[in-house]
Amino acid sequence: MTDSNNTALSLPPSSVLSSEEVDGVMKGIAALWKTGDIVPFLGPAIDRDPPPFPSGEHALAAALGERVSVPGRLRGRVHEVAQYIESHKHRKTLEKLMEELFRPVASPAPFHDLLAAFPVPLVVDFWYSRSASERLLRPGDFQIRAVSRTGSRDRWFTNDRKTDDGWEAADAPPPSARVLYRPLGSMLPKTDVIVSDADFVEILTEIDIQSPIPPWVQRHRTGRHFLFAGLSFDNQTVRTFAKQIIKRSSTWHFAVLDRQPTAKEERFFFREGIRVLPLPLNTEFVPSLDRLLRAIGAPTEDERTK
């Protein structure tokens, strides 16, 4: 038996929806969105136009490598590149480079516009850009961001409340809060990110017992459905974070992916109950969902704040 046959036999049934199934699932997502039972989980490919900052791990590794000379064997491996800079140039140098790389502002992403028009209680942003922090939060909303244990040995994350003129440190959000959760840290209100090997070793050592996952997120996710957008699962670290963040939530979720999943992705989708919508994110999925939300009368930003 050939290797290709072995691979085919080891794959689970496809999680990719057929064109006939997509319409019904889209209506289901809109209904869950209306009740606040969807949790969007956004990745680095959320933007419509090429952003003025690195979009994805390979681009970030290359951008860091252009600013600090690193050994050739590390090229393309962002966490190893970041660790080299941290070890040889200091943590502050790494943070300064990250702040510079992600200082530029991207043009509005359609998914951010959708969330601004039809907000939900919790959004997860799994990248480093400022976009979600700047566009999705209004005064009184909360951001929960991971912090590097390099500078914060006594905690895994911190809570910030958006104010009229900036940010303020806060206690844990109340149950009714609107929250942006940033598992890789954030550039706002200050740069504190999870990017080096040491950062990930700290978190991945504990994530299975949920210590790095904020209690507010753990409570809110119960029974809810995650919607992955702009995210690729061809990376073990991404799969591990996603698996642990959606733990004890609903048994089925959604992902928007306009390419054929890899074998590893397919197995992950099958194990985690993720149904894949094979649609271009910004030209088909977001416009379709926007129309459905307007048709069913999903609460708008103005209605939710009354």
How far apart, in whole angstroms, are the C-alpha atoms of residue 168 and residue 109? 26
207-266 pLDDT, tens digit per residue, is 999 999 999 999 999 999 999 999 999 999 999 999 999 999 999 999 999 999 999 999
Does residue 158 contact residue 150 with C-beta atoms inside 8 Å?
no
Residue 143 main-chain phi, psi, to 5 deg? -120, 130
How far apart, in whole angstroms, are the C-alpha atoms of residue 139 and residue 28? 31
- HEC string for the chain: CCHHHHHHHHCCCCCECCHHHHHHHHHHHHHHHHCCCEEEEECCCCCCCCCCCCCCHHHHHHHHHHHCCCCHHHCCCHHHHHHHHHHHHCHHHHHHHHHHHCCCCCCCCHHHHHHHHCCCCEEEECCCCCHHHHHCCCCCCEEEEECCCCCCCCCCEEEEEEECCEEEECCCCCCCCCEEEECCEECCCCCEECCCHHHHHHHHHHHHHCCCCCHHHHHHCCCCEEEEECCCCCCHHHHHHHHHHCCCCCCCEEEECCCCCCHHHHHHHHHHCEEEECCCHHHHHHHHHHHHHHHHCCCCHHHHCC
Locate tokens 């940010």: which residue? Answer: 167
Please give the domain boundaries of the chain with CATH numbers for all domains.
Answer: 10-50+108-304 (3.40.50), 54-101 (no CATH)
pTM passes above 0.85: yes
Write down the pLDDT at residue 10.
52
Q: What angle do CA 91, 126, 257 make, to 5 degrees?
A: 140
Give the distance from CA 110 to its chain's centroid. Answer: 15
Residue 99 tokens, joined: 């702040």
Locate tokens 């390979």: which residue? Answer: 58
How far apart, in whole angstroms, are the C-alpha atoms of residue 146 and residue 185? 4
Residue 199: CA atoms inside 13 Å, Cβ hemisphere, count? 28
Write down the pLDDT at residue 2.
38
Ramachandran sector of residue 297 (left: φ over 0; alpha: ψ -120 to 50; beta: rest): left
178-210 pLDDT, tens digit per residue, is 999 999 999 999 999 999 999 999 999 999 999
Write down the pLDDT at residue 303.
76
Locate tokens 């963040």: which residue? Answer: 245
Write down the pLDDT at residue 81.
97
How far apart, in whole angstroms, are the C-alpha atoms of residue 3 and residue 218? 41
> Does the bond joining 189 to the residue before it have cis omega, within 30 degrees of 0?
yes
pLDDT below 70 — which residues of the chain? 1-12, 151-153, 305-306
